Structure 1
Amino acid sequence: MLATVSSSPHFVAPAVLAVSDTNPSLTERLAKHLCRPVPKNVQDRARLHLLDWLGCVAGARRSDVAAVVRAAEPDVLTRAAFLGNVLEMDDVHRAAILHPGPVVWPAALSAAREAEAPFAAMLDGGVRGYEAVIAIGCTLDARHYALWHNSSTAGGFGSAAAAGSIFGLDTGSLVAAFGNIGSIAGGLWHMRHAPVMTKQLHVAQAAASGLWIARLARHGFTGSRGILEGAQGFYTAMTERPDPLALDEGWRLHQVSFKPWAACRHSHPAIDAALELKARGALHGPVSLETYADAIAFCDRPEPRTVIEAKFSLQHSIAVVALRGEPRPEDYEPDAIADPELAAFRAAVQVAEAPDITARYPAHFGARLTAGGETVELADTRGDPERPLPVEGVLNKARSLIVWGGLPEREADRAIALALEGDSVADIVVMLEDWT
């Protein structure tokens, strides 16, 4: 049965199933799925993602966002929640088109601090948070992503799952938490049209709301079991035709990509291809880039004016590779944006959609780059599961970000030891207090 909401001729309900009184709702299925035990190898993988997030937080210490939240927010984990996405180097799930880490880890650490939970329970919460945010994110369609920031709208399900796991919520209480987080989900992409800080607010709000709502659920606060598929629910309001909720035996944490460069993930296939052309000595103008439609919609910016616009500029990233090599955080700062040589190279980059690459998206983020008489085509980019970043690469990334953030090298050693070998949530919170 299709959900119906209004007899108005102006309303067209998406094709979602009505809530059944006899069959489990989608959030009931998800809550049951999350109750599985987390294997040791998945916990170990979670430690790497925790370290990656810590590096991103440290790297953003000198940003304008950091200055604001340092003055405005008294809680260390709230401050950290605002910083994990600033550099655009946070981890990403391609099919869900979202960043799990900066939403899940602040909520997991906050819940563990509050409940005085052991480190292993915090890691389990992190894994379950990743699973929930990705599971919901993978159901969201192109209509949703055109208007809504998936890390924000789906993100609250991840933070609620992480905190709920650490608080020991039973399935009924977790379903109630999902009902409430879905009811207040939001995060419009309009902020992309101005040089504002709202994207970081989206991430921090999703993390904080999930924690808050899981805390309420812990004490009996109720919420709708049919918030996803209900007649006036999440899918009806925010999608045209959502994909089915797929719940597999494994844990989706292993599907998450690490981002090696300080730019929007949509630009990474172009960066990767540009690095290959540069290694062949062929990366000189004119340059022709073909890629998928969303990469162009978000990152076709031949004349970036601000740091965030540069991070969302295909042309700028390719120019950086051509003239400077592997992109570093400083290559997206004002001095680099104003560099006349980079500006001239940006003007030589032509961008177009390739329907065949779009057809493989979002399962694969690809690009086809032609310059100097040669072409490189990549179906996947560095850091994806098909082309994984080795453990040493994750460690080196964390080190470079921590130093970029103005901290001494010993803080990188501290973060690596606490994240990969430690067993104290309190020690990580103290380290973040020192940093922020």
Structure 2
Amino acid sequence: MSVAARLVTLSQGGVGGGPTQLMRLCFFDWAVCAIAGQDEPVVRTLISTCESHGPCSVFGGATYDPATAALINGTMGHALDYDDTHFDHIGHTSAVVMPAVLAVAQDQMMDLNRVLEAALVGSEAAVRVGLWLGHDHYQVGYHQTATAGAFGAVVGLARLLRLDREQTDNAIGLTATMASGLKGQFGTMGKPLNAGLAARVAVEAVTWAKAGLTSDPQGLENFAATHHGQGHESAWDDAEPWKIARISHKFHACCHGLHAMLEALAQQPIDPEAIAVVRVYTHPRWMSVCNKPDPATGLEAKFSYRQTAAMAIAGISTAAIARFSDDIASDPELRALREKVEVMSDDRLSEMQARVVLTFADGRTETREHDLDAPLSLSERETRLRAKATAVLGDARAAALWDVVSRGDLVGLFDV
């Protein structure tokens, strides 16, 4: 069976027993990130180049056609790099799937329940395509959030619009000729733009396929062949019906590769004056993603083990978006503290694990570990996500957003 055929089957399959409440939390968290990111320079710059017209709202008030709304909201939701991550997918699923599905749902005047159903299917597809493409695709330099994410968004839109098999096949093929995104953009405005472009690609591909545009039926296979895809058949196993159920949410306002280390450091307070050396052990793939040793800007600090470790040890909240500023990157005390941090790879660790060995000035050592794959109940996840929303948006706005999402009110979403 071709990959496209598998994705068509997923788009038309049942969702009974699927993690629908988890998807509501994912939508809520993505909306928090988008609202918080609406004034970021990348968003303001992008909006200044787009003509406002159409039925689809973006956070901040303007309306656009579906493809442009997906582009803007997609960039907005990933601008702060505070959105959810799936480590099988090797990227951010909601960043691309949510804005694409939301834009088309607005255009078709559908409710939030339809959005969540489509987002569930699309997010699952993104994870499985990410698994199928494999680590080589990511390690060679492709941004899987944007590549696998675009295909996932197309599958979600096929579900939303009830496309037939031929239309879905064509939409997947058209996406194969447009999907893109490079890791080289990490630490720049190009990274969140990758997510917005992927969301726009999905909307355009589905719109064109629905209108009758055809494409290569082996488009996705050809994409893998030319983009270092490994074609892992294990991506399609049924041992885990919903791989999206292992989505990981961010509780620190920086690259997700840093979070296991930060959770380990947070287990007990540390006296910065007592520290001699901090050795951080992480999975090898993170060494090329979030190991900027000497960040010069707040944006670069979000991709730095040494900087964020120094912040955590100094008692500076890494959950607060405002803390990742240019001033924090140049703070002399933090720069001195980060010189004590050494980062090393350990292929015995999974991508969700970290080990931190603290050596104190008096010779004592202490080892701390954390695994982001440790179970987190739905109620615990909701509590932490709502606390994150409050920290990011304030009490009133966070409560209003939770109410709107709980009621499924798409119209009220943009009034928060």
TM range (shorter): 0.7 to 0.9
Q: Give the whole-Å Cα distance in 1 for the aligned partners of 2:113 and 2:122.
A: 14
Change (3 A) 1:282 1:241: farther
| Residues 399-410 of structure 1 aligned to structure 2 (within 5 Å) | 399-403=390-394, 409-410=395-396
- 1:422 is matched with which residue: 402, 407, 410? 407
The secondary structure found in structure 2 opposite 1:213 is: helix
What residue number does 1:107 align with?
100
* Contact persistence 1:143–1:240 (CA under 8 A): yes
- 2:397 is matched with which residue: 392, 406, 411? 411
Change (3 A) 1:280 1:392: farther
Offset, 1:238:
1.0
Q: Structure 2: which amino acid aligns with 1:235?
A: A
Aligned-pair Cα RMSD in Å = 2.2
The secondary structure found in structure 2 opposite 1:53 is: helix
Q: Give the whole-Å Cα distance in 1 for the aligned partners of 2:228 and 2:386.
A: 38
For residues 205-240 of structure 1, give each alpha carbon's deviation from its aligned partner in whole angstroms, at most 9, with x where no partner exists. 1001101111222222222222233xxx01110116
What residue number does 2:224 align with?
235
Change (3 A) 1:240 1:267: same
Change (3 A) 1:312 1:281: closer
For residues 82-129 of structure 1, give each alpha carbon's deviation from its aligned partner in whole angstroms, at most 9, with x where no partner exists. 111122211000122110111011111111111122322111111011
The secondary structure found in structure 2 opposite 1:324 is: coil
Offset, 1:260:
0.3
- 1:226 is matched with which residue: 210, 218, 226? 218
The secondary structure found in structure 2 opposite 1:392 is: helix
What residue number does 1:368 align with?
356
1:346 aligns with 2:323: no
What residue number does 1:304 align with?
295
Offset, 1:67:
2.3
Q: Give the whole-Å Cα distance in 1 for the aligned partners of 2:153 and 2:15.
A: 17
* Contact persistence 2:179–2:201 (CA under 8 A): no
Q: Structure 2: which amino acid aligns with 1:208?
A: R
* Contact persistence 1:318–1:346 (CA under 8 A): yes
Offset, 1:161:
1.4
Change (3 A) 1:241 1:79: closer
TM-score, length of structure 2 as denominator length: 0.88
Q: Give the whole-Å Cα distance in 2 for the aligned partners of 1:237 and 1:179.
A: 14
- 2:3 is matched with which residue: 26, 29, 39? 26
The secondary structure found in structure 1 opposite 2:276 is: coil
Q: Give the whole-Å Cα distance in 2 for the aligned partners of 1:385 and 1:36.
A: 29
Residue identity (%): 23
1:152 aligns with 2:146: yes
Q: Give the whole-Å Cα distance in 2 for the aligned partners of 1:285 and 1:60.
A: 37
- 2:315 is matched with which residue: 324, 345, 351? 324
Unaligned runs of 5+ in 2: 59-68
* Contact persistence 2:261–2:370 (CA under 8 A): no
* Contact persistence 1:60–1:84 (CA under 8 A): yes
| Residues 382-393 of structure 1 aligned to structure 2 (within 5 Å) | 384=373, 386-387=375-376, 389-393=380-384
- 2:15 is matched with which residue: 38, 42, 48? 38
What residue number does 1:294 align with?
285
TM-score, length of structure 1 as denominator length: 0.84
| Mean Cα deviation higher: 285-294 or 384-393 | 384-393
Change (3 A) 1:396 1:40: farther
The secondary structure found in structure 2 opposite 1:180 is: helix
- Say how many residue pairs are matched: 391
Q: Give the whole-Å Cα distance in 2 for the aligned partners of 1:85 and 1:322.
A: 27
The secondary structure found in structure 1 opposite 2:8 is: helix
Q: Give the whole-Å Cα distance in 2 for the aligned partners of 1:240 and 1:101.
A: 22
- 2:179 is matched with which residue: 164, 177, 185? 185
* Contact persistence 1:112–1:425 (CA under 8 A): no
Q: Give the whole-Å Cα distance in 2 for the aligned partners of 1:158 and 1:180.
A: 13
Change (3 A) 1:315 1:139: same
Which fold has the larger relative contact order, with Cα–Cα distance below 8 Å and residues 6 or more apart in sequence?
A: 1
The secondary structure found in structure 2 opposite 1:294 is: helix
* Contact persistence 2:27–2:98 (CA under 8 A): yes
* Contact persistence 2:137–2:228 (CA under 8 A): yes
* Contact persistence 1:277–1:376 (CA under 8 A): no
Offset, 1:283:
7.3
Q: Give the whole-Å Cα distance in 2 for the aligned partners of 1:135 and 1:295.
A: 21
What residue number does 1:47 align with?
24
The secondary structure found in structure 2 opposite 1:355 is: coil
What residue number does 2:61 align with?
none
Q: Give the whole-Å Cα distance in 2 for the aligned partners of 1:236 and 1:312.
A: 30
Q: Structure 1: which amino acid aligns with 2:137?
A: H
The secondary structure found in structure 1 opposite 2:293 is: coil
Offset, 1:279:
6.1
